[in-house]
């Protein structure tokens, strides 16, 4: 069964829109885009559109590539002090010459909508158990991964979960959330010997390797839930990290690319912005 991320995201956005309509202020989200990377521009435009749909106040700040690290940090500092802005996001990756870690650390933890600040990642690492994600701040892609699994009525507790990829953006936070949902978690990466041996054990397989169609049908346990986080632009068009056409015949549930994790990431970004606006 194919998991329709667009439909699930739409329901989350409708719920947020209803809540915002009853509030006496608008949650505010600011996105900083450095340079003119086409993929980043598409992502930022999608976030702007989503903000309009739910009634948020949104700001897009576009800086030229030659602006320099100090000007970027100055801009973040101004947004930290802006009472109309509840969530701040620096679109990653930044162009060469910029220090991404420094930029993330410059965002106030109370406005860090993507939850990548060390203080917020530390909270995620330390938490033992999460009953309900509705009121929990977590990195947006990882939060979307969990929501997709649970939307199918699949229990995570006690399941064997394998995450392929260890990036700070998706792999690590997905693994931490799965742990907090009482799964038994294995993290695989480029140095994992015999990757297929590990992935075949997974009741839940989350693939965030950043390599086109690295996971084949022979690597998947029959009936497994397969969440494809990858977005790769190839000569054949946009493809995930999973060989979708082959794996969908074997998996119990699977997300497509596009239309799976992507829409959920944006929906969870809106949800995090709303939570930050209510907490501050």
213 is known as an active-site residue:
no
| Active-site pick, 114, 228, 241, 243 | 114
Q: 75 catalytic, yes or no?
A: no
Can you tell me the distance from the alpha carbon of 214 to that of 233, in angstroms, rounded to the nearest whole number? Answer: 14
Question: Cα separation of 241 and 228, whole Å?
Answer: 6
Given 47, 159, 181, 248, the catalytic residue: 47
Annotation marks residue 114 as catalytic: yes
Question: Which structure tokens are listed for 133?
Answer: 């994600």
Question: Residue 200: which residues within 8 A CB-CB, separation 6 or more?
Answer: 219, 220, 221
Q: Which of 75, 91, 159, 172 is catalytic?
A: 91
Dihedral of alpha carbons 151, 168, 42, 136, sign? positive
Write the secondary structure of the chain as one string of H (helix), E (strand) and C (coil): CECCHHHHHHHHHHHHHHHHHCCCCCCEEEEEEECCCHHHHHHHHHHHHHHHHHCCEEEEEEECHHHCHHHHHHHHHHHHHCCCCCEEEECCCCCCCCCHHHHHHHCCHHHECCCCCHHHHHHHHHCCCCCCHHHCCCCHHHHHHHHHHHHCCCCCCCCEEEEECCCCCCHHHHHHHHHHCCCEEEEECCCCCCHHHHHCCCCEEEECCCCCCCECHHHCCCCCEEEECCCEEECCEEECCECHHHHCCCCCEECCCCCCHHHHHHHHHHHHHHHHHHHC
Active site residues: 47, 91, 114
């Amino acid at each position: 069964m194919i998991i329709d991320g667009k439909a699930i995201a739409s329901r989350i956005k409708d719920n947020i829109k209803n809540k915002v309509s009853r509030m006496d202020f608008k949650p505010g989200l600011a996105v900083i885009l450095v340079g003119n990377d086409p993929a980043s521009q598409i992502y930022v435009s999608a976030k702007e559109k989503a903000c309009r749909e739910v009634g948020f106040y949104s700001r897009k700040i576009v800086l030229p590539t030659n602006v320099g690290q100090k000007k970027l940090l100055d801009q973040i500092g101004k947004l930290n002090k802006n009472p109309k802005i509840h969530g701040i996001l620096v679109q990653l990756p930044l162009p060469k010459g910029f220090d991404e870690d420094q930029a993330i650390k410059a965002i106030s933890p109370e406005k860090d909508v993507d939850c990548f600040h060390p203080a917020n990642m530390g909270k995620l690492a330390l938490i033992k158990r999460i009953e309900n994600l509705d009121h929990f701040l977590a990195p947006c892609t990882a939060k979307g991964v969990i929501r997709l699994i649970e939307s199918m009525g699949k229990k995570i507790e006690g399941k064997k979960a394998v995450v392929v990829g260890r990036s700070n953006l998706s792999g690590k936070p997905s693994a931490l959330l799965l742990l907090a949902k009482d799964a038994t978690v294995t993290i695989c990466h480029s140095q994992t010997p015999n990757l297929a041996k590990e992935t075949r054990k997974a009741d839940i397989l989350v693939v965030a390797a950043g390599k086109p169609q690295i996971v084949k049908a022979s690597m998947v346990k029959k009936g497994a839930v397969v969440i494809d986080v990858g977005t790769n632009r190839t000569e054949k068009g946009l493809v995930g990290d999973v060989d979708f056409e082959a794996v969908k015949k074997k998996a119990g549930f699977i997300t497509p690319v596009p239309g799976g994790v992507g829409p959920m990431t944006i929906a969870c970004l809106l949800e995090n912005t709303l939570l930050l606006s209510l907490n501050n």
